[in-house]
Amino acid sequence: MGLAQLEGRRNRQTVRKGDRKMGKLLAVCAAVVWCLLPFRGAADDPATLPESAVKYTRPVKAPDRQWPSAAGDASVCLWKGDRLAAFSITIDDNNAPDHPFWTKMGETYGFHFTWFVITERPGTGGFWGTWDDFRKLHQLGHDIQSHTVSHLHGQYTIDEEYRLSKEKIEQEIPGHRVRTLAYPGGNHEVKNDPAIAAKYYLGARGVAGFVTPAVNMPYMSTGSQGGGIFTGERSTLESFLDPSHRNYRGWHICLFHTAKEDARARIEEGLKRVKEHEADIWVGTFTEVLLYARERDAAKVAVVERKPEKIVLSLTDGLDDALFDIPLTVKVRLPDGWKTCVGSQNGKAVSCSVVEREGARYALVDAVPDRGQVVLAQQ
Ligand SMILES: [Zn+2]
């Protein structure tokens, strides 16, 4: 039951006898408000978000790659493509003079980045860029998300900072959805509030410098690392791939402000190195990785049919399908005779590759939860 429904119930209980009409009106109003809430549904009600969604807890050991043992058995991979760790670049405070540099980096390495935009600034000066600039980045596949309206400079309540910035970006970039936020850092009169952020966003980048764990991820307050790409003493690339390290299988979220001329060679070096490790490190936008984690944590995969010539799976997550639409990678142990595999979901072809380990073959199939049955067959 949502807050508005509870309110509606309370409202109904407190109306005096004879005020039935008013009571009905209130109930209708409450129902209307409930329908208009941006992220309704039990899973996304801020009141039902677990404490772990906002609070960092020391990471528990992340599971190793899973290798289902019987033909047809399936498991959801911790990260897309069954990679070991995840990596995102986020750029704050608009930083228009750096757009050409980042655009070139994106094209050269085939990566996409997330801009967290202060939405009242575009059009007010060169550094802040224009909405045309951000539409262009969006067209190139980059991710444009919110860094509040004013960076919490005091004219707006925290609710307005979160709500109006989301509305503004979605209005300026038609068809684009704003689902994540980066909390402004610094000491402001107006304070960040993850519970209010959760009314409008599915996840948020926090202001603390910890490595974001894959397990028990604080969705509404992730960590982030400034300074460089796997350059921190406590966030070396090797540590994310080392089963004995606490960073193992974690998510390196890089935070950039300006990328000055003298820092660019080092950034490019970092990207080149990540590219060399792309088989083990998933490079996704902040929003992609965050959504993947939330869907994965809620996902259930079940074998519906297990036949010599085909395997049918159901993949569900119980989340709002209008908001959670990122494909998850499911690993399926193939029957012994299968050398190849094609996948489809709800009759449409989906990405499917075959990997081998110790003489057994496994399919890695990408499917979106709650979008119909997943069927695997030999080619
Ligand atoms: Zn900022």
CA of 241 to the centre of ligand 1 (A): 30
How close is the Cα of 233 to the center of ligand 1, in Å?
A: 24
- 97-103 CB contacts, 8 Å cutoff, 24+ apart: 97/126, 97/127, 97/258, 98/258, 98/259, 99/129, 99/133, 99/136, 99/137, 101/259, 101/264, 102/142, 102/259, 103/137, 103/140
Q: Compute the distance from residue 92 Cα to the ligand 1 centre, in Å.
A: 5
In which residue are the tokens 């058995």 written?
73
User: Is there a single domain that holds both residue 150 and residue 177?
Assistant: yes
Residue 198 lies in a domain: yes
pLDDT of residue 122 exceeding 90:
yes
pLDDT band at 225 (very low <50, low <70, confident <90, very high): very high
CA of 338 to the centre of ligand 1 (A): 52
Task: Indicate whether 267 and 302 sit together in one domain.
Answer: no
Q: How far is the CA of 93 from the centre of ligand 1 (A)?
A: 5
Check whether residue 93 and residue 29 sit in a common domain: no
CA of 48 to the centre of ligand 1 (A): 29
Domain span at 10: 3-37
Mean local confidence (pLDDT), 355-377: 97
Distance between Cα 305 and ligand 1 center (Å): 51
pLDDT number for residue 15:
34
Q: C-alpha distances in angstroms, 71 versus 77, 82, 316, 328, 342?
A: 17, 18, 21, 20, 16
Asked whether residue 48 is assigned to any structural domain, the reply reads no
Question: Which of 292, 311, 343 represents a domain boundary (last residue)?
Answer: 292
Q: How many domains does the chain have?
A: 3
Q: 335 with 275, same domain? A: no
Q: What are the C-alpha distances in Å from 325 to residues 164, 167, 196, 331?
A: 24, 20, 23, 19
Same domain? For 12 and 136 the reply is no
CA–centroid distance, 144 to ligand 1, in Å, is 14
**Does 165 lie in the same domain as 145?**
yes
Establish if 75 belongs to a structural domain.
Answer: no
10 and 128 together in one domain? no
Mean per-residue pLDDT over the chain, rounded: 88
**Distance from the CA of 207 to the center of ligand 1, in angstroms?**
10
CATH of the domain at 318: 2.60.40
CA–centroid distance, residue 248 to ligand 1 (Å): 28
Q: What is the pLDDT of residue 42?
A: 39
Residue 334 above 50 pLDDT?
yes
Confirm whether 151 is domain-assigned: yes
Please check whether residue 77 lies inside any domain of the structure.
no
Residues 229 and 351 in one domain: no
Residues 150, 238, single domain; the answer is: yes
pLDDT greater than 90 at residue 16: no
Q: Does 206 score more than 90 pLDDT?
A: yes
Q: Are residues 121 and 267 in the same domain?
A: yes
Q: How far is the CA of 109 from the centre of ligand 1 (A)?
A: 26
**Cα of 232 to ligand 1 centre, how many Å?**
20
At residue 32 the predicted structure's pLDDT band, cuts being 50, 70 and 90, is very low
Choose the weakest-confidence range: 35-49, 98-112, 128-142: 35-49
Domain boundary among 292, 327, 351: 292
pLDDT at 108: 98
Q: Identify the pLDDT of residue 208.
A: 92
- Summarised one tens digit per residue, pLDDT across range 54-88 is 777 777 789 999 999 999 999 999 999 999 999 99
Within a domain: 88: yes
How many angstroms is it from 151 CA to the middle of ligand 1?
6
Residue 45 included in any domain: no
What pLDDT band is residue 52 in, cutting at 50, 70 and 90? confident
For residue 120, being part of any structural domain is answered with yes
Domain end, chosen from 292, 327, 361, is at: 292
Tens digit of pLDDT for each residue in 37-47? 333 333 445 45
Give ipTM to 2 decimals: 0.98
CATH number at residue 227: 3.20.20.370
**pLDDT tens-digit series, residues 250-303:** 999 999 999 999 999 999 999 999 999 999 999 999 999 999 999 999 999 999
